[in-house]
Amino acid sequence: MDSGAVKKNTTLICAPVMAGTVKEMVTQLDEAKSSGAELVEIRLDSLKNFSPHEDLKTLIKASALPTLFTYRPKWEGGQYDGDDKSRLDTLRLAMELGADYVDVELQVAFEFNASIQGSKPEKCKVIVSSHNYENTPSIEDLGNLVARIQAAGADIVKIATTALDITDVARMFHITVHSQVSSVPVIGIVMGERGLISRVLCAKFGGFLTFGTLESGAVSAPGQPTIKDLLDLYNFRSIGPDTKVFGIIGKPVGHSKSPLLYNQAFKSAGFNGVFLHLLVDDVASFLQTYSSTDFAGFSCTIPHKEAAVKCCDEVDPVAKSIGAVNCIIRRQSDAKLFGYNTDYVGAISAIEDGLRDSHNGSSAGASPLNGKLFVVIGAGGAGKALAYGAKEKGARVVIANRTYDRARELAETIGGDALSLADLENFQPEDGMVLANTTSIGMQPKIDETPIPKHALKHYSLVFDAVYTPKMTRLLREAEECGATIVSGMEMFIGQAYGQYERFTGLPAPKELFRKIMSKY
């Protein structure tokens, strides 16, 4: 990270330090400084043996960064199960010895703050915290909770809740923004994978700090990103109140390389945007909840491509005829949603290139797909896109799907034939066919799966797999062993990304940069 870069937010990155011994903690304190954290949270409840006076002095002296001491009891999700009096005595001692912050749970905060009345060191701030491992309450309940925490004497309010749905996080953003008005700093974190955006976008909405783990360190709460990801993947320091939010909507979505691609491209173009993983269960409620023009555009992946069509105010004719959208743009003038499909362009042109290369490049004139028998595995959004694209290029299309009825439905729509996936193994009307897998069969973590047995691959001249994690799937490996030309899902991924980037930013896609970034994977 370029330390000379202008920081556009005041949100601190705090590294949780958890270890069984003080010696290990001291090592982690050094690591926190060099990794770019601005604050360390020392979790005293993780220590196996602890001599308060001596160990607190050692830790405070060893830390080049400001220190936050937390001694979390079991009843609030921590590891300490002794009595509360000696626990709170330890936090008071930490304050006396020079801690910058101490974290005290709401349940005991009132008595704790009363006990330090008049003896509180000037520089030490008390964070009063509340943790909810069940859910995220309503805006009204969260607002009341903030008021109770302030009334208990907090210098800084900390609320951590749990995301059951990504829309829960919107309530935390609301509370964080509104608390700035009353000028009490708020740490508002929503735990779990569905809450990840709370840990990144707190920089946009004015959160006091976020937690980022050390590469070697343990995660102190579910869903924490690493400091490295905050700084290098999400460009955390460049996120400000005006930053536009983009992301990939999917389920699962953690495997996606889109954030890596778009965030690097945004950074190199000086475009004020951030691109996130968005684990979405219901695309309609997601788009309704995050309805401001700040949430400016989305990539859409399995299983939401078809449902997204119904959520858009307008859908591009191609996307409409495919019945699937992989790119949604929120128009800045009126917040209307526009749906597009850039999937088929990337995949079809990559397949055409593969066919041309294997036939020593007859690039002029008709598409090399013209007249080919083109077998598509899968009848979802990507399957529809490829079937449509191949048909448009003059191919004869066959749809194979686990449920035959869905295959037949798609085949009837585009004018092709249908098979059940079980029958594909013995389907060999001719040699030199093209095969395109558009299902998630063979995707991490189930990398030893394949949609079609190896012996059946000898009838295909080219095999394409939309799965790109791993890049070399079992299907592609076996197809190559059978002598087919193979085209990786990476090609489709990069091809569709060009179109999306241009729609997101209004700038030309940095094609060289995209290829360079993806070549590392």
Residue 356's Cβ-count burial label (10 Å; 0-12, 13-18, 19+) is middle
| Residue whose C-alpha is closest to residue 491's, from 457, 518, 455, 463 | 518
Q: Out of 45, 100, 168, 343, which one is annotated catalytic?
A: 343
Q: In degrees rounded to 5, what are phi and psi of residue 332?
A: -70, -25
The number of C-alpha atoms within 13 Å of 225 and in the hemisphere containing its C-beta is 26
From the centroid of its chain, how far is CA 274? 11
Residue 312's Cβ-count burial label (10 Å; 0-12, 13-18, 19+) is buried
For the chain, the first-to-last Cα distance in angstroms comes to: 21
Contacts with 61 (C-beta within 8 Å, 6 or more apart), sequence order:
none
| Residue whose C-alpha is closest to residue 280's, from 265, 272, 294, 290 | 290
Contacts with 295 (C-beta within 8 Å, 6 or more apart), sequence order:
244, 245, 330
Cis, bond preceding 445 (omega within 30 deg of 0): yes
| DSSP H or E segment with residue 59 | helix 52-62
The 8 Å CB, 24+ separation contacts for 106-114 are 106/130, 106/148, 106/149, 106/152, 107/75, 107/76, 108/84, 109/149, 109/152, 109/153, 109/154, 110/152, 110/153, 112/88, 113/152, 113/153, 114/153
Q: Out of 8, 125, 131, 372, which one is annotated catalytic?
A: 131
Q: Given the structure tokens 């890049």, which residue do they identify?
A: 471
Quick check: is 455 catalytic? no
Cis, bond preceding 317 (omega within 30 deg of 0): no
Q: Out of 8, 158, 257, 459, which one is annotated catalytic?
A: 158
Quick check: is 158 catalytic? yes
Q: How many Cβ atoms are within 10 Å of 307's Cβ, its own excluded?
A: 17
Q: Out of 8, 204, 244, 305, which one is annotated catalytic?
A: 305
Contacts with 515 (C-beta within 8 Å, 6 or more apart), sequence order:
494
User: Which CA distances in Å does 230 have to 192, 237, 291?
Assistant: 16, 8, 25
Looking only at the bridges linking them, the beta strands covering 373-377 and 433-437 are parallel
Catalytic residue IDs = 131, 158, 305, 343
